[in-house]
Amino acid sequence: MTPPEAPTDGTASHGETPPAVSVCLEVMKKRRDFLLAARARRQGTKAMMLQARKRRDEEDVPTHVIRVGFTCSKKVGNAVARNRAKRRMREIARLILPAYGTPGWDYVLIGRAHETAARDFKALQSDLKYALRKVHAQ
């Protein structure tokens, strides 16, 4: 099932927004991809850890795609707490990565115990923007 599209001719009401699925974001699922990102650049913030790596040309992923992965260890809490933290990270990635991420890069967001689920949503967004700036400045 595909998400509904908002009208692009300007007739959308105030509450209508574009689909929740971003066209340029792809979710990483393979352990190998997470391990490759773990050996690359990293930047910690109060609410999360960001790992980022530039993909090589010979990989079979299109160069215009930004891939993102999410993980939370058991230190974050029980399954309910881990899922809540990952839901929040997915949402900020959906909002921030298309604008601030670089195509051709893989990003892994790692939740922190007690902080990711409890931190203010605007602060989470600014944390991810800060981490992206720091990672790409290296």
Pull the structure tokens for residue 19.
């689909």
Going along the chain from its start, the domains and CATH numbers come out as 25-137 (3.30.230.10)
Res 29: pLDDT: 92
| Rounded distance between C-alpha atoms, residue 33 and residue 41, angstroms | 14
| Rounded distance between C-alpha atoms, residue 124 and residue 130, angstroms | 10
pTM (two decimals)? 0.80
Which amino acid belongs to residue 79? A
Tokens 């230190």: give the residue.
Answer: 75
| Rounded distance between C-alpha atoms, residue 7 and residue 40, angstroms | 40
Strand arrangement of the beta sheet that strand 66-71 belongs to:
25-27, 66-71, 105-111, 48-54, 41-44
Res 19: pLDDT: 52
Res 1: pLDDT: 45
Cα maximum dimension of the chain: 47
pLDDT digit string (tens) for the chain, length 138 residues: 455 555 556 565 555 555 555 557 889 999 999 999 999 999 999 999 999 999 998 888 888 899 999 999 999 999 999 999 999 999 999 999 999 999 999 999 999 998 998 999 999 999 999 999 999 997
Contact 65, 109 (CB under 8 A): no
Res 59: pLDDT: 84
